[in-house]
Amino acid sequence: MIRSPLTLALLSLTLTACSPSDPQQQVSRALTDGVLLPIYSAWSEADRQLAASGQAFCAGQQNLAEARQAFASAQSAWAAVQPVAFGPLAEGNRAWQVQFWPDKKNLVARQVEALVNSKPELTPADLDKSSVVVQGLTAYEYLLFDPAIDLNVAEQKARYCPLIVAIGQHQQVLATDVQSQWQAKDGMAALLKDFPNARYAEAPEAVAELLRTQVSAIDGLKKKLGTPLGRQSKGQPQPYQAEAWRSNASLTNLAASLASAERIWLGAEQDGIQALLGSDHDALKQRINAAYSDTRQRLAAAQRPLGELLSDEVGRAEINALYDSLNVLHRLHESELAKTLGIQLGFNAHDGD
């Protein structure tokens, strides 16, 4: 039996909880209020507008261009969430419900068509019971942008509108639910502010989760370029494997994700992860700042959508350079920053045993 020694050890751990001046706790608090909650609010608001737009479009009160604009905002807000997508979003299959990517077999097109064929009078409740493939932004994008669909034709609009409305509602409910789980009394935001708690034994565990999610999102951005570049398929470009290829928003999404990642690093008021680096690490700080700046500038300089860039030598060279820039940024975080801060990003998760 375990008796008192263990109990004593546990008590002493509880008593050594962080004081308010603990820098890790300060960073976790500052990022929660200054960066994370605003990102989740923006996403929730964008999905509220998406749902309203879907209904307005189907009621003939919005045109296709306006509906596409509302979709673009929702998609961009979702891209911004990805570097902070832990907690409720990582549970209950929610991330898949928002976006189905990668979609190697074009399941989105097949399942959307199968669904509207089988349920011409589709309701939001029907959609809730359907596959994640048809519940999210990827299916919505297919409906609004796929060359095989023309929503300016009344028949087609009538065919797809129940699904457009249902996806908008599904996304709004999902985002509102996630946001309320962040803001609840003992919700995610509270867990990131005072330690120890049911989720984090101490502030460093919270900071580690913040950094881990951000670094894994930056790694994800590499994949979002690497897949269509054909880095996993012997160099043969695969433009239809790109995220958001139908809406030509691959690079816009990338920029939105990158901006969030940079906000985690900087903080709303210079109180992000970088605040944990002492003055003796100014050189590393500058290199990371420079890497963000380089990636940002390359993205801003891209004048054409990803699909077009992949179609010629010059464009591919541009995307390859962007990939390399992201790679530098990723490595600076993964090895140097994490090591300097003494944060273990992963150990067993990719073990394979």
Partner 1 sequence: MQINRRAFLGLSIAAVAATAAAAGTYGGWTLMHSGAQPLLLSARNDSAGKHFAVGYRLDGSQVFATQVNERCHDVIGHPFLPMALFVGRRPSTQSYLIDTRDGRLLQTVHSPEQRHFYGHAVFHKDGEWLYATENDTSDPGRGVLGVYRLQGEQLQRVSELSTHGIGPHQLLWMPDGETLAVANGGIRTEADSRVEMNLNAMESSLVLLRRDGSLVSKEQLPERMNSVRHMAVANDGTLVTGQQYMGELSDAVPLLAIKRPDQPFQHFPVDDAQRQLMSQYTASVAIHSELRLLALTAPRGNRVFIWDLDSAALRLDAPLADCAGVGAVANGFVVSSGVGRCRLYDCRNPQISSTPLHLPAGLWDNHLRLV
Question: Collapsing DSSP states into helix, strand and coil, what is residue 254?
Answer: helix
Binder among 199, 223, 281, 296 for partner 1 (CB under 8 A): 199
Query: Which amino acid belongs to residue 324?
Result: D
- Token pair 């300016």: residue: 152
Between 270 and 348, CB nearer to partner 1: 348
Q: What are phi and psi of 128, to 5 degrees?
A: -55, -30
Q: What DSSP letter does each residue of 76-144 carry, written as one string?
A: HHHHHHGGG--GGGGSTTHHHHH-----TT-HHHHHHHHHHHH-TT--HHHHHTS-GGGTSHHHHHHHH
Between residues 6 and 321, which has the closer beta carbon with respect to partner 1? 6
Q: Cis link prior to 124 (omega < 30° from 0)? A: no
Q: What is the DSSP letter of 184?
A: S
Peptide bond into 88 cis (omega under 30): no
Given 124, 187, 196, 220, the residue binding partner 1 (CB under 8 A) = 196
Task: Give the Cα separation of 284 and 276 in Å (integer).
Answer: 12
- Binds partner 1 by CB under 8 A, chosen from 72, 77, 80, 209: 209
* CA 179 to chain centroid: 14
Q: Interface mask (CB under 8 A) for partner 1, residues 312-341, using x and -?
A: ---------------------------x--
- The contact pattern for partner 1, residues 137-176, with x = CB under 8 A and - = no contact, is ----------------------------------------
Q: Applying CB under 8 A, which part among 47-55, 150-158, 193-201, 272-280 lies near partner 1?
A: 193-201
Beta carbon of residue 296, minimum distance to partner 1 (angstroms, whole number):
29
| Residues between 246 and 285 with contacts to partner 1, criterion CB under 8 A | none
Tokens representing 99 are 């976006």
Q: Which of 121, 269, 313, 353 binds partner 1 (CB under 8 A)?
A: 353
Q: What DSSP assignment string belongs to 20-35?
A: TT-HHHHHHHHHIIII
For residue 3, the minimal CB distance to partner 1 (Å) is 8
CA-nearest of 180, 182, 176 to 31 is 182
Q: Which residues, numbered 5-24, are part of the site for partner 1 (CB under 8 A)?
A: 5-6, 8-10, 12-13
Q: How far is the CB of 297 from partner 1 (least distance, A)?
A: 33
SS3 category, 47: helix
**Least CB distance from residue 273 to partner 1, whole Å?**
16
Query: Which residues sit at the interface with partner 1, rule CB under 8 A?
Result: 1-2, 5-6, 8-10, 12-13, 87, 90-93, 96, 100, 132-133, 196, 198-199, 201-202, 204-205, 208-209, 212, 339, 342-353
